[in-house]
Structures are given as structure tokens and as C-alpha cells.
């Protein structure tokens, strides 16, 4: 399933759609891209956070020319013509160790001992590897010529200053953290974690901590969906179990919208033959998806209220979690500015 974002709206465009993907696309296109604010995060706490803006390299990496083997720094021209029949001898006149800030410049037929990581100068220099130098006291001979910059890593060969090292929307990995640290970056601008208000619903639902009652079922969805929300990068708050009281549910949903970035409701799709949740969304905002034409798709209901997404999933726990993965996860991602990859996208068949 091929899809792209437009530069201006970041809307998902799918070239071929199943009913599910069509519903996902329709809803996700209504969700505001990167609507969450940014915050500064220290690098040691940035793992799995979402970069809010592009990060540019403040310096070159490596920050100076350096040796990548142990050996001897010589002028390249002095190695020309070396062979088994005509070896060339160099005098060892100095040494530069890793961590030292300057390297002596070898003069004609001179050599400077270097270690892996030693700073070296610009210019037509080469490194004679230790096992290619036949050492005798403070001199050695070579029996081959060497190309310029042989075994020298040039400044900025990995990352040049002011190039992008981490793009906005990147979920920071351990490798990203290491790269940023290698450039002396101590903190990064990340998307704040979206706040997610969770409701369970149904007259038969009771807290999982309460004494069991015949005819009732324990609410496991609040714990399960809260855990899933944490895993998706959001901060969930359980707002309680709502009975099948329409007016009270509307009141509680409106209050939750004032204090969170997104609503998640499990269960309550139909009460007494009525479209309870659909009517609730119509009451407080815009109904976007009113069921999906697929197996167990009826409880999947989505809307927008106060420019904030509302995701409604089934009360049956396995279907509730599946609905969360299909709709809530990409919603959370888009709020944080991540380019959404829909869970059930498939390449279109020619």
C-alpha cells in the first residue's frame, strides 16, 4: 500500500485502499499534524522520544584529521619508488599520542609515530602501518610506496558541520542518542507526550479491584489500554467507568477534552438498540468514522471535538486492543509529528 504526505497538510494519501485502510486514512487525515508542543529533554532521557525539529550537527565528526591505525606519519612523496630492491629509510623524530592537540610536521625523510586516534595534519601525508615498517632503533625502512592520506580519517568524513543528523519526527533510538552525544549535544527538542483520557463504559462493568458480583464483568480494558498508551508514547489517565447514562457521559467527555489531547473510549457502542457512542460524538463534535465494514468493525467509531481526536474501540478486550493499535497508535504518532505508517498497509498488487 503506497502512501505519501503532502508538504502543507501532511495528509496521508493511499493509492489503493481496503475498507479498513480507507477508514484509517479518512480519520488520520483529520488529526492535526504535530499539534503537541515541544519540550527540552536531556540526552540521557531522550530514548524513544520524538524529535520535534531537525537537529543539525554543531561540529564536524570526526572533529579533526586522525590516524586510524598505529604506525608512522610520513610525507607521501618520500615513499615514491620504495620496493624490495630499493627500500627507503626514515628517521623517527617525534610522536603524537591520542588526546594531544597538535602533531609535529614530518620533514623530508622523517617520520612521526602515531597511534589510533592521534591528530594528524592536512596535506600530502600517509601512515606507514607498524607491520609494514622494518624498525631498527630510531629509524625504519619501507619497501613499497603509499597513497596520500593512507589510513587517515579526514575531519567531517562521517558528519559535516550543519548537516542534519536527526530529522523531525524521528523516534530516537540508542544509535541516535550515541550520534548526538558524539557531537557534544546535551539536550534535544522533543514532542511532549500526548495526554490521553480513557473511559470504560457499560452498566455491567465494575472496577477490577472490586468484589466480584454475578452479572458483572471486571474492567480490564482500562489497565490494558493505559499500558498500550504508555507504550505508544502517550500519558494516559483513566477517567472512570461510565454507566449507560448519555447526559452524564457527555458531561464527563467534555470535561476530559479540556484537560487532555485525546479521548479513548472502550465499549458502549450500542445501548438499547441506539448508537450510543456515535450520538455522544455528534453531541460534542464531529463524527468521522461510524463503524468499519469488516469483522468486528462496528465498535470502531472515531470523531474530532475541539480539534482533538476521539477513538472508540470495542469492549471485548482483544478487539479493544486491536482497535487501539489500528487507530489510536497512528493518531498518537501524528499528534507528535511522526510520519504515520498504518499497521495494515500492504503493497498494492500490479
Q: What is the pLDDT of residues 92-126, one digit of tens each?
A: 999 999 999 999 999 999 999 999 999 999 999 99
Q: How confident is the model at residue 286 (pLDDT cuts 50, 70, 90)?
A: very high
Mean pLDDT of 173-184: 97
pLDDT at position 8: 40
Mean pLDDT of 20-46: 94
pLDDT at position 245: 87
First to last CA, the chain: 11
Please give the CATH architecture assigned to the domain spanning 3-36+193-336.
3-Layer(aba) Sandwich (3.40)
Mean pLDDT of 314-337: 94
Contact, 59 vs 334, CB < 8 A?
Answer: no
The CATH number of 37-62+159-192 is 3.90.105.10
Identical topology for domains 3-36+193-336 and 66-153? no
Residue boundaries of the structural domains of the chain: 3-36+193-336, 37-62+159-192, 66-153
Reference 54, options 325, 347, 337; nearest CA is: 337
pLDDT at position 293: 82
Q: How confident is the model at residue 343 (pLDDT cuts 50, 70, 90)?
A: low
Condensed to tens digits (0 to 9), the pLDDT of residues 208-223 reads 999 999 989 899 999 9
Please check the confidence at residue 295 and state whether its pLDDT lies above 90. no
Average pLDDT, the chain: 90
pTM, two decimals, is 0.82
Q: State how far the Cα of 11 lies from the Cα of 209, in Å rounded to an integer.
A: 42
pLDDT at position 16: 55
Range scoring the smallest mean pLDDT among 72-76, 77-81, 149-153, 198-202: 198-202
**Highest-confidence segment of 20-29, 146-155, 202-211:** 146-155
Q: Are strands 301-305 and 308-313 parallel, antiparallel or unpaired?
A: antiparallel
Neighbours of 268 (CB within 10 A): 25
Please check the confidence at residue 234 and state whether its pLDDT lies above 90. yes
Beta strands in 192-234 (DSSP E): 195-201, 205-207, 217-219
Q: How confident is the model at residue 340 (pLDDT cuts 50, 70, 90)?
A: confident
Give me the DSSP letters along 55-73: EE-SS-BSSS-EESSSEEE
Question: Which of the following CATH numbers is that of domain 66-153: 1.10.150.20, 3.90.1150.10, 2.170.190.11, 3.40.50.720?
Answer: 2.170.190.11
Q: How confident is the model at residue 282 (pLDDT cuts 50, 70, 90)?
A: very high
Amino acid at each position: 500500500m503506497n502512501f505519501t504526505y503532502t508538504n502543507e497538510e501532511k495528509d496521508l494519501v493511499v493509492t489503493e485502499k481496503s475498507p479498513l485502510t480507507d477508514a484509517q486514512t479518512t480519520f488520520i487525515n483529520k488529526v492535526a499534524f504535530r499539534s503537541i508542543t515541544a519540550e527540552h529533554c536531556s540526552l540521557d532521557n531522550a530514548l524513544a522520544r520524538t524529535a520535534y525539529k531537525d537537529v543539525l550537527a554543531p561540529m564536524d565528526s570526526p572533529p579533526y584529521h586522525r590516524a586510524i591505525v598505529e604506525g608512522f606519519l610520513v610525507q607521501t612523496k618520500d615513499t615514491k619508488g620504495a620496493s624490495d630492491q630499493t627500500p627507503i629509510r626514515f628517521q623517527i623524530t617525534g610522536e603524537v599520542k591520542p588526546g594531544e592537540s597538535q602533531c609535529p610536521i614530518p620533514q623530508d625523510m622523517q617520520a612521526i609515530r602515531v597511534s589510533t586516534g592521534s591528530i594528524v595534519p592536512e596535506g600530502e601525508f600517509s601512515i606507514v602501518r607498524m607491520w609494514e615498517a622494518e624498525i631498527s632503533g630510531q629509524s625504519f625502512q619501507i619497501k613499497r610506496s603509499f597513497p596520500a592520506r593512507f589510513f587517515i580519517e579526514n575531519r567531517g568524513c562521517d558528519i559535516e558541520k550543519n548537516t542534519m543528523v536527526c530529522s523531525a519526527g524521528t523516534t530516537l533510538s540508542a544509535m541516535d542518542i550515541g550520534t548526538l552525544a558524539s557531537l557534544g549535544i546535551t539536550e534535544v527538542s522533543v514532542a511532549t507526550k500526548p495526554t490521553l483520557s480513557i473511559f470504560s463504559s457499560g452498566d455491567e462493568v465494575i472496577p477490577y479491584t472490586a468484589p466480584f458480583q454475578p452479572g458483572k464483568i471486571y474492567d480490564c480494558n482500562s489497565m490494558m489500554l493505559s499500558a498500550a498508551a504508555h507504550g505508544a508514547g502517550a500519558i494516559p489517565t483513566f477517567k472512570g467507568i461510565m454507566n449507560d447514562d448519555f447526559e452524564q457521559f457527555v458531561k464527563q467527555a467534555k470535561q476530559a477534552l479540556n484537560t487532555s489531547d485525546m479521548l479513548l473510549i472502550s465499549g458502549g457502542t450500542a445501548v438499547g438498540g441506539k448508537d450510543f457512542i456515535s450520538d455522544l460524538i455528534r453531541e460534542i463534535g464531529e463524527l468521522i468514522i461510524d463503524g468499519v465494514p469488516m469483522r468486528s468493525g462496528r465498535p470502531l467509531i472515531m470523531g474530532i471535538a475541539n480539534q482533538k481526536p476521539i477513538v472508540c474501540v470495542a469492549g471485548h478486550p482483544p478487539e479493544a486492543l486491536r482497535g487501539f493499535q489500528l487507530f489510536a497508535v497512528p493518531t498518537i504518532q501524528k499528534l507528535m509529528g511522526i510520519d504515520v505508517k498504518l499497521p495494515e498497509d500492504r503493497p498494492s498488487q500490479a
